[in-house]
Every structure is written in C-alpha cells, then in structure tokens.
Amino acid sequence: MSAPHLLIDAGNSRVKWALVREDGTQTHSGAFAHGGQLVKGTGDPLQSRHEPDWSTLPQPGSAWLSNVAGDAAARRVDAFIDRYWPDLPRTTIRSAARQCGVTNGYTTPAQLGSDRWAGMIGARAAFPGEPLLIATFGTATTLEALTADGVFVGGLIAPGWSLMMRSLGEHTAQLPTLDASAARGLLDSGGSPASDRQNGAVKRAAWFATDTPRSLSSGCALAQIGLIERMWRDLQEEWKAPVRLVVSGGAAGELVQALSVPYTRHDSLVLAGLALIAAQASDNPTADAHRA
C-alpha cells in the first residue's frame, strides 16, 4: 500500500489536518490554533499545547495544503512539517478552471480562495448530481452555488458571526465586544432560542432578547441566517429544483439553531476536496496539479 497523504487546511482561525490513505480512508485527524505560545526553555514559537504531536504518525508520502491565512502561516506550517518530515514533498493548491468534476465560474479562476475551491470539490463528491448551496461559517461567511453538473456559478462573502459582533463592539461606545465563546454561551443559556423550541423549531419570538449581550449575539446570528435563507430560496426559484444546503465551519453548530430550512452539515469539505485533488494527481502525475 502506498504512503498516505497529509492534508492541511490552514484557515484564518485555525489549522485542520488529516492523514488519508490512497483510497480516501482517513486514519488520523486534528486541528490546532494559529500563533503557538513559546515553550519555556526552548524559544520555539512553533511548539504549542494547541498543536498535535505527529511523531507517532506513519510517514506520509506527500503533503497537500490549502492556505488562506497568509505567508506567515505558510512559513509556520512549513516549519512544523519540517520538524517531522523535512524532505516531504508538498503542494499548496490553488483554484483552477476545472478540476475533479467542478468547473470554476470565477472571472479569474485563480483568484478564488483555495479553501472554497477544495470545499466545492469535496461537496460535489459527497452529493453528486445535486444542486448545492454551500455555506461556511468561519472568520468570513462564504456561499457557493454549485449546479447539479458541477458548475460553480458564483458566490458571496460576508463578515462572519464573530467578526460581525467584534466589529460592533469595537466601533460603538455602549456595546460590549463579544467573542464567539461568550456568544455561544448566550445562545445556549436559559431563555435563549436553544431552550425555547416548538416541534423541533425555534420560536421566532425567542430571538427577541431582553439584554444587550443577547441582543447583539442573536442579532448577528440572524443576520447570518437571513443571508443564507434568502439565497437558498432564490436559487430554488431560479433553478426550479430542490437545492441542498450544506453547512460547515466553526460557528455552524450555533448558527444552525436559527435555520428554518433543511440543511446538511459537513465539517470536512476542504480536507475531502484536498484528498480528491491529491488522488487525482497520484493517478496522473504528469498532469498540472495547480501548484502554488
């Protein structure tokens, strides 16, 4: 059996990784935050309690990366790989005009974020032959519309839930600055929508809050959901077909509380797409792998 692929999804908030066999079977996975703390006595900023210990992993044959977090993150991840496998071949993907059954409708295909591209490839493989609306709740909230035959017709980018709350707190005199952890507690605590359900759905009136932190948390959550539901309904009307709403991202668990439309959750779309890109390159090593 050939050596597994190491897959790395470096997003704006954290790094997700997985080790997969050639057939796509995942054997190991994890995540760690950006910005490792210095380990006392080492002066090594790469070592962090948030990072995994890869010393017990089997030797991968290659690494495949999607990085939207910038050059500093790329150097940090590179150095982290070098600590364990300094000679490991690695490819940082970029978006292509066509790959793994997905056609890129961007005016300049390479300008599409590599995470969005890999995520669409993963979604297309998970739900073949279905029209899709892919909503990712991360630092930014992104939407991608994918036709049943795999054509990406376009998307949207909006501030993410946490970014929206933080912006309000930083630019208004009397509003608190909430982070995602605090906001999750507000949505999950007594009197919040999570505890006020009727037949499995959240009562609309439950989102009207009676204190400022909950008003801020719920208002920003509903701003996210209003965007998603509007575009989902518009796509169904335009395409005259059922559209599967696929949701993912770090804030998905909280925000889907407010959804009033059907959805499917899939939290490994980017890694799934990377696995397919790596497998395609292994099958045809002379083809353009769209390396950055």
The string of pLDDT tens digits covering residues 146-193 is 999 999 999 999 999 999 999 988 898 888 888 767 777 777 544 444
The string of pLDDT tens digits covering residues 75-100 is 989 999 999 999 999 999 999 999 99
Choose the catalytic residue: 115, 188, 196, 267.
Answer: 115
Q: What percent of the chain is predicted at pLDDT more than 70?
A: 83
The string of pLDDT tens digits covering residues 18-69 is 999 988 899 999 988 876 543 334 344 444 456 678 999 999 999 999 999 9
pLDDT recorded at residue 44: 42
pLDDT of 11 higher than 90: yes
pLDDT recorded at residue 48: 47
Catalytic-residue membership of 115: yes
Query: DSSP for 92-160?
Result: EB---SEETTEEE--SSGGGS-HHHHHHHHHHHHHSTTS-EEEEEESSEEEEEEE-TTSEEEEEEEEE-
Q: If you ran DSSP here, which 8-state letter would residue 4 be given?
A: P
pLDDT recorded at residue 205: 57
> pTM score, two decimals?
0.86
Sign of CA dihedral 207, 209, 213, 216: positive
pLDDT of 286 higher than 90: no
pLDDT recorded at residue 193: 45
pLDDT of 103 higher than 60: yes
Structure confidence at residue 1 as a pLDDT band (50, 70, 90): low
pLDDT of 265 higher than 80: yes
pLDDT of 201 higher than 70: no
Instruction: Judge contact between 262 and 245, C-beta under 8 A.
Output: yes
User: Which strands, in side-by-side order, build the sheet including 151-159?
Assistant: 98-99, 102-104, 151-159, 140-146, 132-137, 244-248, 264-265
